């Protein structure tokens, strides 16, 4: 009874989905008209004054950036996003145009782009679908339909197949229950055993059971399930996935488990992967910095330093250059 009560207390402080740890916040003493004038001058400057564009747009909240765009259009009779698009290029352009979208718009855009044309960018698709909570997914689905005139689920269905498709669709629906704050030890034990029975214990894999448990239970519950799992299985959950399934399905389950175990570390490790060796994988680096800067980049930064012994800020300096680097550092906020 007492341990159950203590368990309840621990989980109650486990955090809800509405917690925000942004590095980019609303600017005080904000004047949209003044900022719009600065952007106009910066775009008109010969060779373009990228520094001013970066200084303004990476240091405002999304609603403020929208206000600036509104004021810009009012004074110039031109669309600010189109103007920025012609003024900028390369990775800096991707960052700035990304910032002109709201977080759900940006996620929807990344999803659409990952499925556009021939072939699929599975890594992007997996990352976004695995790592957004119910509320975020609901927003993404809504925005996706508004902008692209089609359901997200429909595009996923036509672009993927088999169990991989089933897993992505289950995730995209956003059926994960919220944390009740109560540790249900029987349910934890049952789910751990079911995951084991459905995979390592039997011939083949009962993927449907894995999908149900991993997409419908709360994150704090699943963290306990994966710990308990080790008392049944000789392999931990990630090792079990590697043994049981292959290809995109394996990749998706691994992403999902890593996200469930520690979501901040999940993004930190993606950032680290994007900056391995020389240079950087700009696409991944940009996506995470832009999509998390107004959500939880502060926590990701802390986790990054803890895990890799070097700050995200210094790592960005080492692996990027020029105006792109300036924009990323500004989104990063400060050194740890």
- 171-207 residues labelled b (16+ CB within 10 A) or e (exposed): bbbbebeebebebbeeebbebbbbbbebbbeeeebbb
Report the nearest approach of Ca ion to the CB of residue 243 (Å): 7
Residues 260-319 that bind Ca ion (CB under 5 A): none
Report the nearest approach of Ca ion to the CB of residue 165 (Å): 21
Cβ burial, residue 303 (10 Å; 0-12/13-18/19+): buried
DSSP state of 277: S
CB nearer to Ca ion: give 144 or 253: 253
- Piece of 42-50, 197-205, 208-216, 286-294 that binds Ca ion (CB under 5 A): 197-205
CB nearer to Ca ion: give 71 or 205: 205
Sign of CA dihedral 144, 109, 263, 172: positive
CB nearer to Ca ion: give 160 or 233: 233
Residue with tokens 């992403």: 255
Report the nearest approach of Ca ion to the CB of residue 204 (Å): 6
Nearest to 268 by CA among 284, 245, 250, 257: 284
Report the nearest approach of Ca ion to the CB of residue 227 (Å): 21
CB nearer to Ca ion: give 120 or 209: 209
Find the distance separating the first CA and the last CA of the chain, reported in whole Å.
42
Report the nearest approach of Ca ion to the CB of residue 89 (Å): 50
Report the nearest approach of Ca ion to the CB of residue 39 (Å): 57
Q: Percent helix, strand, coil in the chain (nearest 5)? A: 70, 0, 30
How many positions of this chain bind Ca ion (CB under 5 A)? 1
- Piece of 35-43, 168-176, 189-197, 200-208 that binds Ca ion (CB under 5 A): 200-208
Distance, CA of 137 to CA of 123 (rounded, Å): 17
CB nearer to Ca ion: give 218 or 233: 233
Residues 95-114 that bind Ca ion (CB under 5 A): none
DSSP secondary structure, 220-232, as one string: HHHHHHHHHHTTT
CB nearer to Ca ion: give 205 or 315: 205
Q: CA angle 123-128-131, nearest 5°?
A: 115
| Per-residue contact flags (x/-) with Ca ion for residues 201 to 220, judged by CB under 5 A | ----x---------------
**Which residues lie near Ca ion (CB under 5 A)?**
205
């Amino acid at each position: 009874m007492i341990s159950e009560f203590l368990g309840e207390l621990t989980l109650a402080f486990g955090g809800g989905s509405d917690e925000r740890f942004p590095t980019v916040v609303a600017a005080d003493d904000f004047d949209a008209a003044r900022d719009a004038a600065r952007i106009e001058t910066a775009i008109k400057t010969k060779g373009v004054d990228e520094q001013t564009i970066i200084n303004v747009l990476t240091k405002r909240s999304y609603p403020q950036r929208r206000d600036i765009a509104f004021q810009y259009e009012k004074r110039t009779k031109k669309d600010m996003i189109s103007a920025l698009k012609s003024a900028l290029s390369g990775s800096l352009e991707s960052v700035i145009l990304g910032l002109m979208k709201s977080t759900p718009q940006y996620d929807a855009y990344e999803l659409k782009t990952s499925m556009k044309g021939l072939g699929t960018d599975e890594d992007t698709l997996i990352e976004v679908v695995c790592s957004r909570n119910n509320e975020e997914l609901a927003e993404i689905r809504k925005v996706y339909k508004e902008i692209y005139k089609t359901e997200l689920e429909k595009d996923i269905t036509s672009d993927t197949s088999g169990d991989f498709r089933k897993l992505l669709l289950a995730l995209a629906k956003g059926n994960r229950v919220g944390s009740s704050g109560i540790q249900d030890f029987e349910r934890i034990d049952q789910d751990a055993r079911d995951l084991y029975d459905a995979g390592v214990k039997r011939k083949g894999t009962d993927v449907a059971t894995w999908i149900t448990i991993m997409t419908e239970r709360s994150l704090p519950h699943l963290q306990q399930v994966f710990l308990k799992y080790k008392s049944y299985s000789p392999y931990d959950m990630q090792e079990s996935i590697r043994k049981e399934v292959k290809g995109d399905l394996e990749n998706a389950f691994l992403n999902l488990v890593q996200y469930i175990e520690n979501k901040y570390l999940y993004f930190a490790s993606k950032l680290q992967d994007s900056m391995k060796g020389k240079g950087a994988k700009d696409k991944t680096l940009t996506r995470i910095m832009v999509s998390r800067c107004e959500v939880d980049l502060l926590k990701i930064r802390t986790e990054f330093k803890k895990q890799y012994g070097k700050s995200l800020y210094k790592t960005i300096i080492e692996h990027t250059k020029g105006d792109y680097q300036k924009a990323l550092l500004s989104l990063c906020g400060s050194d740890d």
